[in-house]
Amino acid sequence: MASSYYKLDISERTETRSKGSKVLRREGLIPGVLYYSGEKNVNITVDKSALFHAMQSGQRIFEIDQDGESQYTMIKELQYHPVTDVIIHIDLMRVRRSEKITISVPLVLVGEAIGIKEGGVLSQSMTQIEISCFPTDVPEHIEIDIEDLEMNSARSVTDIKIDNEDIEIVSDKNLNVVSITPPAAEEEPEIEELEDEEGELEGEEGAEGDEGAAAGQEGDPKDRSEEQSGES
């Protein structure tokens, strides 16, 4: 739980056309929209550098200054440039500290599993988990202990323990989080069988040649008698 929140520098904007957004981006600002249930959406700009540092902080809830008052927001959606992967638009959702929110937070594996020491392969199928809590209780991440995870075993969402009673797990309890399985056996090429097949193929080709030669020698009895008459 964060004792303080990273502050985002936002400003209200009136220019909403595509051309205006391009100008803002060149000035180091990211166009976006601030949402809040029951109120009118507000077109805003966010300082690009401040957003970068806020996201690097690991926090999920950020403080903003709106109309001279401190408010709290969470990132609702980010849009990236398809080629450069640079953030080109942001949607923020305003939250109240007295109201619970549903949010996804990272899952962090803790400990070295027994199955790994035995040569097993670890597979993590979930990297985030959805929780419901007050904005002041949003953790930077949630840990799951895998130290006693053996070969051919797994951990699911139901195995995750959270000390804070105000944090409720929303994700399906039966979803698999992490598992350890034996390494896949390498298949060796069947060289001997391949050589046997090649030998059989050569034998068949030789037999076909012998049959062809025999057929050429036999010929038609009538033809042979005519050849003998001609010679005499």
Token representation of residue 211: 């049959």
pTM for the model stands at 0.63
Residue 143 dihedral angles phi and psi, to the nearest 5°: -95, 145
Burial of 59: CB neighbours in 10 Å, binned 0-12, 13-18, 19+: middle
Which residues are bridge partners to 7 per DSSP?
Answer: 63
List the pLDDT tens digit at each of the 232 positions of the chain: 455 788 888 888 877 677 678 888 889 999 999 998 878 899 999 999 989 988 888 788 899 988 788 888 998 899 999 999 999 999 999 998 889 999 999 999 999 999 999 999 999 999 999 999 998 888 889 999 999 999 999 999 999 999 999 999 999 999 999 999 999 876 666 665 555 555 555 555 555 555 454 444 554 544 544 544 444 4
Q: Note whether 149 and 115 are within 8 A (CB).
A: yes
Domains of the chain as residue ranges with CATH = 7-95 (2.40.240.10), 103-181 (2.170.120.20)
Q: What angle do CA 167, 172, 175 make, to 5 degrees?
A: 120
Q: What distances in angstroms separate CA 59 from CA 67, 147, 158, 170, one per listed residue?
A: 23, 27, 25, 19
CB atoms within 10 A of CB 136: 14
Q: Return the closest-CA partner of residue 113 out of 103, 121, 105.
A: 121
Strand partners, 29: 47
DSSP 173: T
Output the six-digit token pair for 163. Answer: 């000390």
